[in-house]
Amino acid sequence: MYINKSKKIVIKIGSSILVGENGKVRKKWLNEFIKDIILLIKLNKKVIIVSSGAIALGCNLLNISKSSLKLDKSQAIASIGQIELMNLYKKTFDKNEIKISQILLTLEDTEKRRRSLNARRTIENLLSMGIIPIVNENDTTATTEIKYGDNDRLASRVAQIINSDCLILLSDVNGLYTVNPKLNKKTTLIKTVNIIDKEIEKFSTNNSINKYGSGGMVTKIEAAKICQLSGCYMAIANGKKLRPIKEILEKNNCTWFIPRVSKLDARKKWIIGSISPKGALIIDNGAIKAIRNGKSLLPVGIKTIDGKFEKGDHIKILDLNNKEHARGLSSFSSEEINKIKGCQSNQIKKILGYSSKDEVIHKDDLVKV
Ligand code: GLU
């Protein structure tokens, strides 16, 4: 069982787990859940919680409905609800003499390398002091373009940054089904996913979206992709049940995503796990072959540039059919690449008027998908 093998476990709690359909906080669930945390601590595991619920609890306090909220209003509500959320955790954990901390992350905190290292250091320090970090997105300042938007991908990025071996997404269903079990009883729970292929993607769009969360199955599959590439096991499990972790340990009634064998170092895992690539380069077959063989990406093979990005930004590498082959950190801005695309590297200086690197993405900054 993957939980037993893991040392550092990230557990993501969705809004619909904390707040019931009736809009009431599920205190009994939380009081039971703490027993799962105690069990994991006894098993010598380090636990990090990623919790949604700020907006749901804010709405609950003010007695307003989430569905009608515009972004700026939900940011204001999140600032109210985040206190409620942490209060709830603090009271419950205090009773059990477990110390917690609050970490609010913005997209840049994981997408900029230096900031992601800072976040990692902070979380590592907390874990070494025996404290349970409780992470949420900093909803109060995040606008649409700079937002994770869902805590599924945030949780997978946190798991990747701290080199966790297991992420558990607590959802309102047992896992990934062939069709949404709430709509059709003739459905099958998929127990293990090794490769996320077209069929799995299709199943994910068949599945549910709930009243409070912003995730649904699609973002859970996106999270699974990041985990698979980071060498981290990921489960989608039913968090509505009392003691969901005990339930997984005893019955294993969930969907597990198995990581791909990965020899990538931490930096390359960070590159491949990017949540918000700023653009894409479409390259010819010769260049695809070269990067597949571990070479750098040169300007000569670049056909089209998609998006606007700066030097150092995360970008995707696509073939002429728009299939993704790699991700990397660009050594040039999109404007510069527009000028040098299709050229030999020794012409770069002449074209741009200043000397620069020979490669658009150096092989050390490039990771195959
Ligand atoms: N960060 C949001 C909150 O705490 C939730 C995002 C999500 O639904 O995953 O309310």
Q: What is the pLDDT of residues 241-278, one digit of tens each?
A: 999 999 999 999 999 999 987 778 889 999 998 888 99
Q: Is pLDDT at 212 greater than 70 in this prediction?
A: no
Q: Whose CA is nearest to atom 5 of ligand 1?
A: 52
Q: Measured in angstroms, how far is the CA atom of residue 103 from the centroid of ligand 1?
A: 14
**Mean pLDDT of the 189-208 span:** 86
Tell me if 172 CB under 6 Å of ligand 1: no
Tell me if 82 CB under 6 Å of ligand 1: no
Residue type, 352: L
Q: Measured in angstroms, how far is the CA atom of residue 349 from the centroid of ligand 1?
A: 47
Q: How far from chain centre, in Å, is Cα 144? A: 16
Distance CA 86, CA 96 (A): 15
Distance CA 288, CA 276 (A): 22
Q: Measured in angstroms, how far is the CA atom of residue 299 from the centroid of ligand 1?
A: 41
Contacts of 154 (CB under 8 A, 6+ apart): 50, 105, 110, 135, 137, 148
DSSP secondary structure of 322-354: --EEEEEE-SS-HHHHHHHTTS-GGGHHHHHSS
Tell me if 52 CB under 6 Å of ligand 1: yes
Domains 8-269 and 277-368 belong to one CATH topology: no
Tell me if 313 CB under 6 Å of ligand 1: no
Tell me if 214 CB under 6 Å of ligand 1: yes
Structure tokens at 100: 């917690």
- pLDDT on residue 145: 67
Residue for token pair 């380069």: 281
**What angle (nearest 5°) sits at the alpha carbon of residue 12, between those of residues 9 and 178?**
105
- pLDDT on residue 61: 92
- pLDDT on residue 206: 67
**Could you identify the atom of ligand 1 that is nearest to the CA of residue 82?**
4
Tell me if 51 CB under 6 Å of ligand 1: no
DSSP 259: P
Any long-range contacts for 319-323 (C-beta under 8 Å, 24+ apart)?
319/282, 319/283, 319/285, 319/288, 320/282, 320/284, 320/285, 322/282
Q: Which range among 37-46, 57-66, 88-97, 310-319 shows the weakest confidence by mean pLDDT?
A: 57-66
Contact 21, 28 (CB under 8 A): no
Q: Measured in angstroms, how far is the CA atom of residue 12 from the centroid of ligand 1?
A: 11
C-alpha dihedral, 36 to 132 to 30 to 53, nearest 10° = -130
pTM (2 d.p.):
0.89
Q: Which of 19, 151, 158 has most ligand 1 atoms within 8 Å of its beta carbon, as the pocket-test mutant?
A: 151
Distance CA 360, CA 298 (A): 5
Q: Which of 13, 55, 154 has most ligand 1 atoms within 8 Å of its beta carbon, as the pocket-test mutant?
A: 55
- The CATH H-level (homologous superfamily) assignment of domain 8-269 is Acetylglutamate kinase-like (3.40.1160.10)
Closest among 197, 202, 179, 201 to 189, alpha carbons compared: 179
Closest among 153, 360, 167 to 276, alpha carbons compared: 153
Tell me if 156 CB under 6 Å of ligand 1: no
Q: Which of 19, 139, 148, 219 has most ligand 1 atoms within 8 Å of its beta carbon, as the pocket-test mutant?
A: 139
Q: Which range among 100-109, 137-146, 165-174 shows the weakest confidence by mean pLDDT?
A: 137-146
Q: How far from chain centre, in Å, is Cα 133? A: 17
User: Computed from CA positions of residues 166, 38, 132, 129, in that sequence, does the dihedral angle turn out positive or negative?
Assistant: negative
CATH, domain range 277-368? 2.30.130.10
DSSP 295: P
Q: Is pLDDT at 364 greater than 90 in this prediction?
A: yes
Burial pattern 222-243, b for ≥16 Cβ within 10 A else e, equals bbbbbbbbbbbbbbbbbbbbeb
Tell me if 137 CB under 6 Å of ligand 1: yes
Q: Is pLDDT at 207 greater than 80 in this prediction?
A: no
Q: Which of 62, 106, 137, 144 has most ligand 1 atoms within 8 Å of its beta carbon, as the pocket-test mutant?
A: 137
Q: Whose CA is nearest to atom 2 of ligand 1?
A: 52
**Mean pLDDT of the 340-363 span:** 92
Closest among 322, 331, 334, 319 to 366, alpha carbons compared: 331
* Residues of the chain above pLDDT 90, percent: 75
Domain residues of the chain, as ranges? 8-269, 277-368
The SS3 call for residue 85 is helix
Closest among 53, 170, 175 to 102, alpha carbons compared: 53
Q: Measured in angstroms, how far is the CA atom of residue 169 from the centroid of ligand 1?
A: 13
Mean residue pLDDT across the chain:
92
